[in-house]
A and B are shown apart, each in its own frame.
Chain A
Amino acid sequence: MLKILTELNAVAGNEEKIADFILSQVSGYADDIIRDSMGNLIFLKKGKKQTSKKIALFAHMDEVGLICTDITDDGYIKFDCVGHIDDRVLLTQKVLVGDDELPGVIGIKAVHLQEKEERKKVIKKEDMYIDIGFSTKEEAQKHVSKGDYIALDSPYVRLNGRRFKAKAIDDRVGCAIMMELMHDKYDCDVYFCFSVQEEMGMRGSSVLTRRIKPDVALVLEATTASDTAFVPEHLYATRLGEGPVISLMDKGSYSDIALRKFIVGLAQKRNIKYQFKLTSNGANDSRVIQTAGGGCVVNAISLPCRYIHSAVSVADGGDYDEMKRLVRAVLNDIGSFIEKGSEEA
């Protein structure tokens, strides 16, 4: 499933393909389905018992990518990034252009032709171009228009052991886990929310939150792992192989403390590996879910992922399994958390 999901293309603002796929796979497990005007998907799964509080799970469908801004007179495509991509990881990438997914490459002047000083400079995306094999603007315009989305092309590949590389691990892992968890039935009503445009600044989830107004939400994400060469240990944000990451705080939000303690307690009880993130950078859908609908208890559970936002993101299958176990455990036990909450209030 991860292979299929990561190889589908859904640059932020252009999530139809993946949304269609998810619909085709899991509609049968939902009691109610909403697809809103932005393209968000909501599946309600009724619980075995009546509950007063609304539980929601969030994962975002979109990925970072490119968009065509212009076509040059000799048929090359100029582009801009959709979502944050480091210019330096773009050179010599393979890409797929437009809805028809025409293959192309991001070219660069051969190193032989560059002056000595030029070789030391970072090449900016404004100076890059995509070659899809056309030689005139007219020819290119028959197949490509300004505003067409462009996805990175990077198949899912197993590495040694349980590691794998793919694009869009952020956040197809969240989608995959939610799709799988939809097969089961839980005590509480659960809203499974597949959001759009997270990479644009959590655009989809704000709209979703205002529609559902959840009381408790769990965001399933992929997060930076920096347990790599040349990084001091206290700056490893997270580590591969050490289990899912339970959020403390990042640039976007401070996770609910009671919910965090509840999740940590569950993980310990069930012997599920987990870790905290050692840095406070980045942000995810929690940021808007927490406030958009009048206030919601939120935490995020994330899969550690190296080289996130590049075509060669790397993650660990063991972490993925542990993350799924942990989320499933939370869903099964969330009733006790809610009751405890209401007793205290």
Chain B
Amino acid sequence: MNIIKEIKQLSSLSGISGYEHRISQYLANKFKKYCDEVYIDSIGNVIALKRSEVGSGKVMLEAHIDEIGMMVKSIDDNGFVLITSVGGIDPRILYGNVVNVHGVRDFIGVIGAKPPHVMTDDEYSDVIDFDKLYIDVGMSAEEAKQNIPIGSPVTFDCLNTELESGYFASKSLDDRASVAILLDVLETIKDVDLGYDLYFCACVQEEVGLRGSLTAAYAVNPDVAIAIDVTHATTPDESKGTFKCGCGPVICKGPNIHKTLCNNFISCLNNASIPFEIEVESGNTGTDAWSIQTAKEGIPTLLLSLPLKYMHTPVETLNIKDCESVSSALVEFLKSYKRTGDMLC
């Protein structure tokens, strides 16, 4: 599969937390091609099962499909659209961006604020927060109120820009890049009977509190789970605790991660000569791995990440090589994984 093509496709779809239906529909169709069962659960997660004819056991791969964005909270008397954030979004990056307002249909808008010329000196040096930002969709108040209901989601315009040396910039690569990896893994192993049931969970509402993965993990209740997400890549302004793009999969260690599972995964990568990095998280990883670990009666969980620059902006940037190596790492592990009774500590 051409991962970059799939990432472009996925990233061009819009779906802030709670409004992922475009992506879930798209994915349900994709999964149906090679999976035995596909359904969308009560909160909106897509759960796809590739069954084994010969063995038992359950492995779950998970990535989240929602993206950060904004929501319309009011329209003022002049037709400007007032917004609130959905997920962790830095208001400082918003001014001057092009956005899609998903009203009765999709409208293009720009994010404006009071022009610098009429700002006081204090205002000029201040951060422009959500209460001072608005979207200009070029409509009168009457038009806007008719076309843009309260609660309409707002997403960044999709850039899909290929940079040099395999780098690629777009919105919502967190975590659509990982979703593309899930599809790539599925396509690679579509004709292989792994000896256990493999579940693909594309989960909603991660960005607002790891919500979707809670119900998915509870329903699937796998023997082991692997969450795939992004981690911070090294940039000129931050080298501490970050990872160079191109380093391959980043494997997390810490209380959130099952030790035996993690060691098995690492030795599998060593055997396959796939380079990787270790990331240490002393507590909450802030990813779906955190909610999956304590679902039901406890699930041995692993977190696999790929480095991403400028997270939670419209110009999230990754190197496609990392996507490919995370995908191969997963395939290697899935092929070597054997159910060994209960995975004890």
A residues adjacent to B (C-beta < 8 A) = 12-16, 19, 35-40, 66-70, 80-83, 145-147, 197, 200-201, 203, 206-207, 210-211
Contact = CB atoms under 8 A, between A and B. Distances in A.
Q: Which of B253, B282, B296, B300 has the most CB of A within 10 A?
A: B282
Contact of B343 (A16, A37, A81): A37
A200 B343 contact: no
B119 interface: no
10 contacts: A12-B255, A37-B300, A37-B343, A81-B282, A82-B282, A147-B254, A147-B280, A200-B255, A203-B294, A211-B297
Nearest to B241: A69
B282 A67 contact: yes
Contacts of B171: none
A74 B298 CA distance: 40
Q: Helix, strand, loop or mixed for chain B's interface?
A: loop
Contact of B255 (A36, A203, A206): A203
Contacts, number: 75
B344 interface: yes
Contacts of B309: none
Contact of A37 (B256, B280, B284, B299): B299
A201 to B, nearest CB: 7
A171 to B, nearest CB: 16
B237 interface: no
Given A69-B282, A146-B280, A147-B253, A210 B296 contact: yes
Contacts of A206: 294
A16 B297 contact: no
A201 B345 CA distance: 19
Contacts of A19: 345
B342 A37 contact: yes
B278 interface: yes
A203 B257 CA distance: 12
B275 interface: no
Contact of B253 (A16, A146, A210): A146
Nearest to B258: A37
A14 B241 CA distance: 22
B298 A146 contact: no
Given A82-B255, A206-B294, A16 B345 contact: yes
Contact of A35 (B283, B284, B299, B344): B344
Contacts of A66: 282
B155 interface: no
A82 B283 contact: yes
Nearest to B342: A37
B293 interface: yes
Given A12-B255, A82-B283, A200-B255, 4 more contacts: A13-B256, A40-B298, A67-B254, A210-B297
Interface in B250-264: 253-259
Nearest to A38: B298
A333 B342 CA distance: 37
A211 B284 CA distance: 23
A81 B282 CA distance: 6
Q: Which of A14, A38, A70 has the most CB of B within 10 A?
A: A38
Interface in B275-322: 278, 280, 282-284, 293-294, 296-300
A39 to B, nearest CB: 4
Given A13-B255, A197-B255, A203 B282 contact: no
Contacts of A38: 293-294, 298, 345
A36 to B, nearest CB: 5
Nearest to A12: B255
Interface string B89-130: 000000000000000000000000000000000000000000
Nearest to A197: B255
